[in-house]
């Protein structure tokens, strides 16, 4: 049997089994449940090896996981579909009304958080005797600063949030990952350059705007073309196929044009999910399209978080690195608080914000698969192992602890108020 088919069969089988157990007996949110089950399973396997030395279960699981390129699977596979599915269900009208706040948090907020986290973690590493260059610490800041849209949107499905605040949380998470990946790419090029001319401020700015603006333009063009085609037919099977082609082809073209494929599929999803449903689809098509992408979203989400949990078994944790990871948790949250608070403080004289917006946006800014995928792409240097450990600890805390407690926090802090 084909090895790739075996891996897919195992992942889908485990996802279905864990999903059933979780729904029947535990009742955790699907994404969080998958991560918890995978983590527990990995620990049980490691414990079984300790009790029964002759059975190398950890080795078998490691060999399976090494056949799965997590970065390729997420960044060039699952993520495009997940972002499109998320954008499809976001109200563009609400997004436009909060566009300035979302743009500020997704751009300046990510940059501010990158430097705050990078600078702080550099001194933590120095204090613990871990030698990581300052520029590499900034790379860590860039990969851990963007909130993960997959995790965030998954939580928003089960937590009741005022529409105005939900638009900010969803909109920021959809766009700041694209911005974060661009910032990460630039910093990696600077931190790991080998010879050649160092990049200038002008070249860095040009690359940033080319990636970000180019991705948005590509998304508008591709989404507009599919919208034009959908208006001229009424056959939901073909129209769903058009949206599948929209995601895959747009993402592939973006990589060839060196623009952000993440931003491109988000823009295309917003266009189809709003203008497309109003002007290009019958009610039957709209219902089938949303049901299809909701199902895709749920299945891929579950598989992704199962993989995140299982990937822990291939890591080799050092105690000092784990201490750095635990210290990084409050540092990342503090940087998030400062970046969100700064954006809202700047806009407060001109707009009214929901009471409790800053703590909710801070605690609800979950980190997830994107941070893991980015850290796995780093060159194989002495610094990679510590960054990988710290990233995993922050992500696991974020998804499990923050994800499970954001609902009670919202119910306690967000009692009333309308924001613009």
Report percent pLDDT > 90 for the chain.
40
Confidence of residue 341 (pLDDT cuts 50, 70, 90): very high
Is 48 part of a structural domain of the chain?
Answer: yes
**CA distance readout (Å), 343 to 97, 164, 406:** 16, 16, 21
Is 363 part of a structural domain of the chain?
Answer: yes
Based on the fold, state whether residues 94 and 241 are members of the same structural domain.
yes
- For the chain, how many structural domains are there in total? 2
Helix (H) or strand (E) holding 373: helix 369-376
Based on the fold, state whether residues 60 and 118 are members of the same structural domain.
no
Section 355-373 average pLDDT: 87
Short-list 274, 386, 287, CA closest to 327: 386
Rounded Cα gap, residues 386 and 384, in angstroms: 6
Range of the domain at 56: 3-66
pLDDT of 27 > 90? The answer is no
Lowest mean pLDDT among 56-65, 85-94, 187-196, 209-218: 56-65
> Alpha helix (H) ranges present in 232-279?
236-257, 261-271, 277-279
Confidence of residue 315 (pLDDT cuts 50, 70, 90): confident
Confidence of residue 420 (pLDDT cuts 50, 70, 90): low
> By 3-state DSSP, what share of the chain in percent is helix, strand and coil, each rounded to 5?
80, 0, 20
Residue-level pLDDT at 364: 87
Residue-level pLDDT at 218: 96
Based on the fold, state whether residues 185 and 262 are members of the same structural domain.
yes
pTM of the predicted model as reported, rounded to 2 decimal places: 0.87
Confidence of residue 56 (pLDDT cuts 50, 70, 90): low
Section 104-116 average pLDDT: 93
Pull the structure tokens for residue 35.
Answer: 């991560």
Residue-level pLDDT at 20: 94
Based on the fold, state whether residues 47 and 87 are members of the same structural domain.
no
pLDDT of 126 > 80? The answer is yes
| Residue 178 CA from chain centroid, whole number | 9
Section 135-139 average pLDDT: 96
Based on the fold, state whether residues 301 and 338 are members of the same structural domain.
yes
Is 419 part of a structural domain of the chain?
Answer: no
Section 364-380 average pLDDT: 87
Based on the fold, state whether residues 123 and 139 are members of the same structural domain.
yes
Domain boundary among 66, 83, 100: 66
Is 22 part of a structural domain of the chain?
Answer: yes
Based on the fold, state whether residues 124 and 55 are members of the same structural domain.
no
pLDDT of 394 > 90? The answer is yes
Confidence of residue 234 (pLDDT cuts 50, 70, 90): very high
Rounded Cα gap, residues 395 and 389, in angstroms: 10
Residue-level pLDDT at 49: 62
Based on the fold, state whether residues 87 and 213 are members of the same structural domain.
yes
Confidence of residue 1 (pLDDT cuts 50, 70, 90): very low
Is 420 part of a structural domain of the chain?
Answer: no
Pull the structure tokens for residue 170.
Answer: 């969803």
Residue-level pLDDT at 289: 95
Short-list 110, 297, 342, CA closest to 212: 110
Based on the fold, state whether residues 171 and 184 are members of the same structural domain.
yes
Residue-level pLDDT at 311: 78
Highest-confidence segment of 86-100, 127-141, 147-161, 196-210: 127-141
Section 366-381 average pLDDT: 87
Rounded Cα gap, residues 415 and 357, in angstroms: 11
Based on the fold, state whether residues 37 and 106 are members of the same structural domain.
no
Phi, psi of 252 (to 5 degrees): -65, -45
Pull the structure tokens for residue 179.
Answer: 């911005």
Based on the fold, state whether residues 50 and 33 are members of the same structural domain.
yes
Rounded Cα gap, residues 330 and 124, in angstroms: 12
Pull the structure tokens for residue 147.
Answer: 């909130």
Residue-level pLDDT at 244: 96
Residue-level pLDDT at 55: 62
pLDDT tens-digit profile of 5-16? 877 888 889 899
Confidence of residue 79 (pLDDT cuts 50, 70, 90): confident
- Mean pLDDT of the residues in the chain: 86
Residues 187/139, Cβ–Cβ less than 8 Å: yes
CATH of the domain at 202: 1.20.1530.20
Residue-level pLDDT at 269: 94
Query: Which is more confident, 198 or 278?
Result: 278
Helix (H) or strand (E) holding 70: helix 70-73
Rounded Cα gap, residues 384 and 394, in angstroms: 15
Sign of torsion, CA 171 172 174 179? Answer: positive
Lowest mean pLDDT among 118-132, 149-163, 226-240, 280-294: 149-163
pLDDT of 124 > 80? The answer is yes
Is 418 part of a structural domain of the chain?
Answer: no
- SS (HEC) of 232-244: CCCCHHHHHHHHH
Confidence of residue 128 (pLDDT cuts 50, 70, 90): very high
Based on the fold, state whether residues 318 and 243 are members of the same structural domain.
yes
Lowest mean pLDDT among 16-30, 43-57, 284-298: 43-57
pLDDT of 80 > 80? The answer is yes
Section 114-123 average pLDDT: 97
pLDDT of 33 > 60? The answer is yes
**CA distance readout (Å), 351 to 100, 103, 390:** 10, 15, 37
Domain boundary among 51, 66, 81: 66
Confidence of residue 373 (pLDDT cuts 50, 70, 90): confident
pLDDT of 195 > 60? The answer is no
Instruction: Write out the DSSP string of 80-103.
Output: HHHHHHHHHTS-HHHHHHTHHHHH
Domain boundary among 31, 49, 66: 66
| Residue given tokens 């037919």 in the structure block | 233
Section 119-126 average pLDDT: 97
Instruction: Report angle CA 197, 203, 209 to the nearest 5 degrees.
Output: 150
pLDDT tens-digit profile of 240-280? 999 999 999 999 999 999 898 989 999 999 999 999 888 88
């Amino acid at each position: 049997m084909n090895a790739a088919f075996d891996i897919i069969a195992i992942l889908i089988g485990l996802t279905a089994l864990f999903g059933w157990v979780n729904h029947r007996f535990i009742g955790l949110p699907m994404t969080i449940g998958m991560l918890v089950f995978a983590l527990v399973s990995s620990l049980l396997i490691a414990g079984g090896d300790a009790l029964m030395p002759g059975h190398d279960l950890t080795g078998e699981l490691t060999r399976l996981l090494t056949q799965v390129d997590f970065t390729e699977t997420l960044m060039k596979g699952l993520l495009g579909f997940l972002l499109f599915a998320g954008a499809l269900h976001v109200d563009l009208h609400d997004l436009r009304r909060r566009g300035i706040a979302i743009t500020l948090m997704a751009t300046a907020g990510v940059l501010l958080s990158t430097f705050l986290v990078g600078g702080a973690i550099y001194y933590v590493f120095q204090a613990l005797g871990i030698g990581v260059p300052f520029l590499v610490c900034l790379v860590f800041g860039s990969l851990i600063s963007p909130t993960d849209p997959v995790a965030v949107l998954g939580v928003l499905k089960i937590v009741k949030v005022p529409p105005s605040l939900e638009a900010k949380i969803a909109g920021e998470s959809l766009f700041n990952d694209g911005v974060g990946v661009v910032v990460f790419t630039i910093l990696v090029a600077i931190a790991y350059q080998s010879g050649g001319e160092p990049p200038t401020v002008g070249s860095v700015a040009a690359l940033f705007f080319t990636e970000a603006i180019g991705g948005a333009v590509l998304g508008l063009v591709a989404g507009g073309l599919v919208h034009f085609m959908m208006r001229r037919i009424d056959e939901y099977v073909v129209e769903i196929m058009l949206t599948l082609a929209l995601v895959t082809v747009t993402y592939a073209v973006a990589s060839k044009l060196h623009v952000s494929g993440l931003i491109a599929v988000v823009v295309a999803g917003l266009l189809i999910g709003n203008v497309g449903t109003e002007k290009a689809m019958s009610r039957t098509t709209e219902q089938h399209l949303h049901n299809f992408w909701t199902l895709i979203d749920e299945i891929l989400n579950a598989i992704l978080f199962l993989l995140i949990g299982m990937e822990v078994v291939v890591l080799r944790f050092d105690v000092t690195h784990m201490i750095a990871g635990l210290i990084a948790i409050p540092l990342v949250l503090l940087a998030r608080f400062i970046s969100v608070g700064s954006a809202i403080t700047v806009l407060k004289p001109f707009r009214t914000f929901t009471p409790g917006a800053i703590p909710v946006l801070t605690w609800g800014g979950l980190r997830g698969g994107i941070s893991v995928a980015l850290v796995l792409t780093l060159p194989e240097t002495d610094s990679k192992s510590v960054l990988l450990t710290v990233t995993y600890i922050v992500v696991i805390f974020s998804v499990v602890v923050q994800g499970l407690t954001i609902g009670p926090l919202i119910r306690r802090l967000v009692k009333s108020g309308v924001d613009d």
